[in-house]
Structure 1
Amino acid sequence: MEMPTKTLKGAATFKEAPTFKDQRRERIIQVARSVFYEVGYAGASMSMISSRLGGSKATLYAYFNSKEDLFEAIIREQCGQIADLFLAHTGTDDLRATLAVMGRELLTAIMSDEAVRTFQLIVEESHRNPQLAEMFHNVIQSQGGSNLVNLLQAAHARGQINAPNSQEAAMVLKSLIFGDCHFKRIMNLAAQPTEAHLSRQVDLAVDIFMAYYGSKSAG
């Protein structure tokens, strides 16, 4: 059976309903995420996660070979949502408006409780398990990072910005959007920003970005 959903432009489209296997996998990820957040990455185990699920350990291992694989699935799910966000905004006509909307969506996503706690877990574990941090970095680059670069490449090709080094431009844009509010959130020095604060941060970031990259293409 197919379930109706909506595209960004409001047109009806369809996608297949999740199978029992998909639902079971998502349930495992949800439970594992709560265990990781509660006891940390080092403190979590497949036995603990299996116990919280209420099923056999064999069922858990049928989906994931290790807690490393399970944590990677959590990372990929979160990064995939951000990657889709960049993809949805690629190739639009009004770049400034697009970056403002995208920036607010991005900042909201990375400042969420789930995203912040995942980032904190990786930082906590990075000394004991540098491979975990490397995996996180690689997933970010292969999913969200590459899609943001592609967005800016498309804008450069359309003459909306002058950014031949799209990777550098992506780094600049992310740094401007994150500002110091993301760092403070990671350090538990600030709560989730208000909508007004978030909009102000993003609008300022887009203005600075376009002043540097956009003005040259206009000249």
Structure 2
Amino acid sequence: MVTNPSNCRLKRCSPDERRENILAVATEVFTQTGYGATSMSAIAAELGGSKATLYKYFPSKEQLFEAVLMRGCGAVLAALEQLAEADSDDPEAILADFGTRFLTGLCGQRSLDVYRMVHAAGLQFPEAADMFFRCGPDRAGAMLAIVLDRLARQRGVPLRDPRLAADQFLGMVRGKLHMRVAIGVMAPPDAETIRRHAAHAARIFAHGLFAG
């Protein structure tokens, strides 16, 4: 049994509030029960409404789960998208800022819940893992690849595979730190630890790609 995070009931609030309430409750149910064991009936029961009302917003469990993932990844991606659209031409500063925002988002509670949920479901339900990668890591890598390609062109530096470079940098930023947090070995780091961790990765990566 989960605790409904909102006083909003399906029949007593606006469509936007209903949708947000559905996603909040579904996140808790998916996290506690797992993707495979969760049914639309169980989520509707926790919401206190009918399954028909739930299906009006999300026609299938797969679509609801994808919306939960998008909600979990949304704040991280929005911050990265803002940075990707900036005009800065300092590779180390851009990478440090991108890495800081990325790691801050990954270590937030909502993102950790999503990551743990997908990790638990991935082997038995690969479609859940595929949705997670499309909603989160793939989009973050694509954004950074555009930035790296722009910086390389500005400097006349050959960069044959910007996407590979982007994925490798994000892997450096995650490192063991995110793994430790995700499996519960350590608490989420404070802002200064994240900033220092990202800045160190940015210094190494920017020097390797753009120095000289």
TM class, shorter-length? 0.7 to 0.9
1:84 equivalent among 75, 78, 91: 78
**1:105 and 2:101 aligned:** yes
One-letter identity of the residue aligned with 2:33: V
Counterparts of residues 98-137 of structure 1 (less than 5 Å): 98-137=94-133
How far, CA to CA, are the matches of 2:126 and 2:181 in structure 1? 23
Q: Which residue does the alignment assign to 2:57?
A: 63
Q: Residue type of the partner of 1:105?
A: R
1:142 Cα offset (Å): 5.1
* Secondary structure at 1:143 match in 2: helix
Q: 1:160 to 1:29 in 2, by over 3 A?
A: farther
Answering whether residue 180 of structure 2 is matched by residue 181 of structure 1, we say no
Conservation of the 8 A alpha-carbon contact between 1:40 and 1:121: yes
Instruction: Give the drift of 1:140.
Output: 3.1
Does the Cα contact within 8 Å between 1:111 and 1:192 map onto a contact in 2?
Answer: yes
2:159 counterpart residue number: 163
Alignment match, 2:142: 146
Distance 1:172 1:192 in 2: 22
RMSD: 2.1
Closer/same/farther in 2, CA of residues 158 and 82 from structure 1, 3 Å limit: farther
Q: Deviations over 1:21-60 (max 9, x none)?
A: 2222111111111111222223322112112212221110
- Match of residue 42, structure 1, among 36, 41, 52: 36
* Distance verdict in 2 for CA 1:145–1:213, change over 3 Å: same
Q: Which amino acid aligns with 1:82?
A: V
Change (3 A) 1:160 1:140: farther
| Cα displacement (A) at 1:202 | 0.8
Amino acid at match of 1:95: P
- The TM-score normalised by the length of structure 1 is 0.82
Are 1:32 and 2:32 counterparts? no
Aligned partner letter, 2:64: L
> Which amino acid in the other structure matches residue 141 of structure 2?
G
> Hey, what's the Cα distance between the residues in 2 that align with 1:203 and 1:146?
21
How far apart, CA to CA, are the structure 1 residues paired with 2:121 and 2:105? 22
Residues 1:96 and 1:107: Cα distance change in structure 2 (over 3 Å):
same
Supply the distance in 1 between the matched residues of 2:167 and 2:137 (Cα, whole angstroms). 11
Deviation at 1:160? 8.3
Gaps of 5+ in 2: 1-12
8 Å CA contact retained: 2:145, 2:166: yes
In 2 relative to 1, CA 141–185 (structure 1 residues): closer, same or farther, beyond 3 Å?
closer
Equivalent pairs, count: 198
**In structure 2, distance between residues paired with 1:116 and 1:194:** 15
Alpha-carbon distance in 1 for matches of 2:15, 2:128: 27
CA distance in 2, matches of 1:182, 1:150: 24
Q: How does 1:190-209 map to 2 (within 5 A)?
A: 190-209=186-205
Tell me: higher relative CO, structure 1 or 2? Use CA pairs within 8 A at least 6 residues apart. 2
Separation in structure 2 between the aligned mates of residue 161 and residue 31 of structure 1, nearest angstrom: 48
Give the Å deviation of 1:108: 0.8
